[in-house]
Structure 1
């Protein structure tokens, strides 16, 4: 079979971030790797705009934004904070399907769904139906982090399996199976194992030499959650030796009033920032990272080879970060402090204990998941005919 050149082949990448920016950051790294392979990538984003994402070379389509109404992901609100209406849903659905048809993609990637993002069923189920009806059906993949949320209602796992079997060619698991396997947090993974491919962890490239060095780097991801961690760290800085240099990165989504209050409270030796483009290099030069246990932050830490203290996000019954933190602690790569009941004194004590430990030896985990994803999609695309039949053909 004659191979099809990648130049000019099109990717339609749906990403919906609701609370933090982790999903968007991971997808942006993957999109960059796809562009570097010669593919034309259109990213359809359904959340609020985040400066710098998805990055150069990626076409973007912004749907009317929706976000999570609270930390427990219990409801959707629009960009003004109003509950999403049926009319709003219909408008988004129409715009999404219109974007699909205008792109006429060779590959469709849907981030998280159907394993997550069930709140977006109102537009994603019609999207899948529209894909199935296309004359030239694209390759369809779901893009997953390595550890899933384990809290599920009866019947949801079975429904997920049925959707995968009906609509998806690939389940791209962005992880190293030596660290976490899909079946450990999705018990029915065996029923779709013929579609599962592990790409490696989607980590950033090796960081540059840090332009400045801090002993402790505290970060709160996107900043939509993590306010308590930043506040506790500001107070903890007063309880440890004053010679330690601190860098606190609040994230771009921390409310302005909270950032201003933290800035007023920051003492000598404490730098407070919303965002640092050189975050990865700061970690490489730090003695300790203090953060939540989100996928992207952990990838940054592993790439930098930095000691870490993790405070996993558990609000609303979330289990993913707690699971990831426990695995890293078991490997000797991190200390863990529960989010609930954190105090400046507890945090200061744990930080001093972590600083006294030797630097961890990093295991040989696959951190090249962006390139791995591009390679998998390229190989699958080049193994198919130019005319893409429907699944029923």
Structure 2
């Protein structure tokens, strides 16, 4: 390609959402004439399609669930200093060779504090004049203290803009901050809302999964409690249930779930959206990509926010998405197998309705990046 080189740096530690969103932006950049390079620092994921753009894999890091304090290397052991040094050196070498017109950093500078050293090294490796753009989802995990917000704003200082992959009419980023609900001046001057960034929904077609209940928890190992309740709920339902299991240990978790009820249980797979479009109803966590994709599918869906470790991000999103007529929400602590089976039966009887969500965020974010890069 002859267009401007744009580097996109992402490290997904638990699930797949950050990587999927970054790939969506990269493909939108390519469609608008840019030459994007995705630099991934998370574990390779078999169910995520990385084709269509240039892709560089760093020595991977991951987390054990929500424990972000001890990061794990590609073998699942705690990452040593030498491992992280080699990873950082590889990142710097890639960026110096690439010499991009702009660098987009996913989640950082407002998140990924535990990877600050390598993000700083990446920024220092950029050529003079390169633009620096942060990229965040619609909701950030609310920091417990205002000091955390101030630290994030300090890291934002060298950035030209902060892309928000969301719609302020659905959830303003202010919902993520403690305090009076206003944006700090340093932040509001850089905010660029782009809309929700997801790939276009597949065209409706006949195929496997017609009329099923689809239960999915994303690409990570979270949500196992929901899968267990769903497996048991399938025994109280006249519908066919299919459970999708994410995480590196999915193969080991599947037999235990199969033993709990008649539901079909399998590993997460790339055909999630095609299956979703044919499902009678869906039950999912409320991560960014899954929530938006279910809302756009028109399939009546029960969103169950992840609340492990006191996390509030998915709860905030679920409360906002509950306004859409095809979406119901439930707290995991309120669900028994019998309750879930009844909720799903009621959902399956509803008409299909597509939520009014601005979902062209990939194309709009790409336009903003290229505008900032002077293209």
Which residue number in structure 2 is paired with residue 229 of structure 1? 226
Question: Which sits farther off after the overlay, 105-114 or 333-342?
Answer: 333-342
1:84 aligns with 2:85: no
CA distance in 1, matches of 2:329, 2:37: 38
Structure 2: runs of 5+ lacking an equivalent = none
User: Which among 290, 296, 303 is matched to residue 296 of structure 2?
Assistant: 303
Secondary structure class of the residue paired with 2:236: coil
CA distance in 1, matches of 2:211, 2:347: 15
1:207 aligns with 2:198: no
Tell me, yes or no, if the aligned pair for 2:110 and 2:156 is still in contact at 8 Å: no
Tell me, yes or no, if the aligned pair for 1:220 and 1:251 is still in contact at 8 Å: yes
CA distance in 1, matches of 2:47, 2:304: 26
1:11 aligns with 2:6: yes
Secondary structure class of the residue paired with 2:332: coil
CA deviations on 1:234-265 (whole Å, 9 max, x unpaired) are: 11011122xx1222222353432212333455
CA deviations on 1:50-77 (whole Å, 9 max, x unpaired) are: 1264522322222111111332433212
CA distance in 2, matches of 1:123, 1:146: 24
Which residue number in structure 2 is paired with residue 391 of structure 1? none
Are the structure 2 counterparts of residues 138 and 52 from structure 1 closer, same or farther at C-alpha, using a change threshold of 3 Å?
farther
Q: What TM-score, normalized by structure 1, do the two folds share? A: 0.87
Which residue number in structure 2 is paired with residue 159 of structure 1? 151
RMSD: 2.2
Max Rg structure: 1
CA distance in 2, matches of 1:340, 1:33: 39
Q: Cα distance, 1:281 vs. partner?
A: 2.4
Q: Cα distance, 1:177 vs. partner?
A: 1.5
Tell me, yes or no, if the aligned pair for 2:15 and 2:247 is still in contact at 8 Å: no
> What is the 5 A alignment of 1:347-362?
347-356=340-349, 358-359=350-351, 361-362=353-354
Secondary structure class of the residue paired with 1:340: helix
Secondary structure class of the residue paired with 2:56: strand
Q: Cα distance, 1:299 vs. partner?
A: 1.5
Secondary structure class of the residue paired with 2:52: coil
User: Which among 137, 151, 163 is matched to residue 129 of structure 2?
Assistant: 137
CA distance in 1, matches of 2:365, 2:67: 30
CA distance in 2, matches of 1:189, 1:203: 28
Which residue number in structure 2 is paired with residue 335 of structure 1? 328
Are the structure 2 counterparts of residues 345 and 254 from structure 1 closer, same or farther at C-alpha, using a change threshold of 3 Å?
farther
CA distance in 2, matches of 1:359, 1:108: 44
Tell me, yes or no, if the aligned pair for 1:28 and 1:55 is still in contact at 8 Å: yes
Which residue number in structure 2 is paired with residue 315 of structure 1? 308
> What is the 5 A alignment of 1:181-260?
181-186=172-177, 187-210=182-205, 211-212=207-208, 213-241=210-238, 244-251=239-246, 253-260=248-255
> What is the 5 A alignment of 1:39-54?
39-51=34-46, 53=48
Question: Which sits farther off after the overlay, 99-108 or 148-157?
Answer: 148-157
1:127 aligns with 2:118: no
